[in-house]
Chain A
Amino acid sequence: MADNITFHFDVHGDNFSSAGEASQLVKKKLRQLGFTPDVIRRVSIAMYEGEINMVIHADGGAADVTVTDEDIIIVLADRGPGIPDVELAMQEGYSTAREHIRSLGFGAGMGLPNMKKYTDTMTIDTEIGVGTTITMTVKHKA
């Protein structure tokens, strides 16, 4: 069994055009590791949604993707405002995005639900005023 590998990325805030860079690079890495297109796509979409969220709400943050023998673990950590009501935030269509962000086409309230949809597990660790850490896993072993 080989050692786990972790890819670390800094996600910069307030920059929509660069959001998605990390997920794109992860896609390339997972491809080099020989994962199936399905696994790669699930990781990529979940991560992309998370990156956009960090840009919108938290002025950026950090993304760490760890490849283990069993699964791919995505940890998105920010020092943003925190999520006051996680259950509400998980509802499809619920959004707190400000108008200028919605006008850019973001903030449709599908970010968190999509992240959950494309991953096998997802936990949200959040504290008001401190930040949010979202941990998602995608299993790659059948």
Chain B
Amino acid sequence: MQNYKHSVSLDVTKCKGCTACLKRCPTEAIRVRDGKAVINSARCIDCGECIRICSNRAKRALRDSIDEMADFKVTVALPAPALYGQFDNMSSVDYIIDGLYKMGFDYVFEVACAAEMVSAYTRIYLSRPDIKKPVISSACPVITRMIGMNFPFLADNLMPILPPIEVAAKLARDQAMKDHPELDSSEIGIFFISPCPGKVSYVKNGFAGDKNNVDRVLSIRDVYFRLIDIMHQDKYPEKSSDSGMIGIGWAATGGESSAVFNERYLAADGIENCIRVLEQIDNEDFTDLDFIELNACSGGCVGGTMTVANAYIAQARLQSLKRYLPVSPNRPTDTEIPHQYFTDEKFEYDSSFTLSSDRNEAMRMMNDIENITASLPGIDCGSCGAPTCMAFAEDIVRGQTNIDECTIIMRELFHEVLDQRRKKVLNERIGHSPRVSDKEEESQ
């Protein structure tokens, strides 16, 4: 966990040390220290909430550059279906596919097509009698990381099938290798065009181990600005899209669930809402459900921080784009899920939350936290650099800050000192302490 590579980063020169991201972070991973935000790598889940809220644009999503296409002999674009909802007045996905070829990609493999395969395998998986229900979608990497970190008992509920990005990358590489037997696998560059930093982290950390086939991750935003210059809608494109309704539907919340063809599902989005749902499943609520789709971003992938369009407008555009498409042209004929589509990713329970490995020491620290919390103002103002008074108390006990950082306590202390000093000065000059005013006498 300590070596986890994140894709949400901070531009220190732009950070004003305000409390916006501090308060928004769902895992309390941010602190403000010496006037600048600091992200605790062990707790960050790359959800992008801090990028969304920062008005100083100090939080950035790291991604690769389009120029890196030059590093490979053959390049493959893997557009996420959310890309299709970014363009206004576009009558067909074909224009985007054509545009990606014009950008210089040798192949375009739509993640939406792979999503249709994953939907088909999900239906097979759900029909098995030996699985733990409700099955939780593993498509959103922020959610899977959240489960690995905080919900060890739900790890067995995660669908063990590769997510669409991985299926697409694998099929794309196989095809490129077949067409170019003279090339080494390292000379083929698979570029995922991503709506969110969560997917960037997923790739950088090799989530699915040796099954990870994506080489670079571009942002939808970067690709969008390249595409609008070269996409021409005056003549019909040569290249065309292979996706159907189901694949494109995956870009927005509910799309993945509706493809399960089973009404016993729940689809939620927004990281806070997802956490609440996970808490309740963990408490054995919702036992009647078969499938749970959780998307960290509001609206689903179209709500990712690396997109351009408003999530709900993008969703509306996707509805009209997919209207006349076939339901699912990429349905595999398998009746069993091929073994290469399973992931054996195991989650390690994160012990970074533990105060001390020695129980007695942890108990003493907890006692201190409780006592300090009780003495704090409880207004969760964030001025100390921690999101809540309780988090501040924990930071004090862990030795990461000190109680003087509480501005309320500091102000009281300051008044006390001022009062003493005033008395001292007056004593020196007029020989006695200031008279207690009528008002103060009353209050006493």
Residues on A facing B (Cβ under 8 Å):
1-3, 5, 7, 20, 23-24, 28-29, 31-34, 37, 41, 44-45, 48, 67, 105, 114
Contacts and interface: CB of A to CB of B under 8 A. Distances in A.
Contacts of A45: 283-284
B282 A41 contact: yes
Given A45-B283, A114-B284, A34 B364 contact: no
Nearest to B283: A48
Nearest to A7: B370
A1 to B, nearest CB: 7
B348 to A, nearest CB: 12
A105 to B, nearest CB: 8
A28 B279 CA distance: 12
Given A45-B283, A45-B284, A3 B363 contact: yes
Interface of B: 152-153, 279-280, 282-285, 349, 351, 353-357, 359-364, 366-367, 369-370, 394
A33 B362 contact: yes
B354 A31 contact: yes
Interface centre among B283, B353, B362, B363 (most CB of A within 10 A): B283
Given A20-B283, A33-B362, A34-B359, A3 B367 contact: yes
13 contacts: A2-B359, A2-B360, A3-B364, A5-B366, A5-B370, A20-B283, A29-B366, A33-B359, A33-B366, A34-B354, A34-B356, A37-B349, A48-B283
Contact of A33 (B153, B285, B363): B363
A7 B361 CA distance: 18
Contacts of B153: 37, 41
Given A3-B367, A32-B355, A32-B369, 5 more contacts: A2-B363, A28-B353, A44-B283, A45-B283, A114-B284
A66 B153 CA distance: 24
B284 to A, nearest CB: 6
B364 A20 contact: no
A67 B360 CA distance: 11
Contacts of A33: 354-355, 359, 362-363, 366
Contacts of B360: 1-2
A31 B357 CA distance: 11
A20 B282 CA distance: 11
B353 to A, nearest CB: 5
Contacts of A114: 284
A2 B363 CA distance: 6
Nearest to B353: A31
Contacts of B370: 5, 7
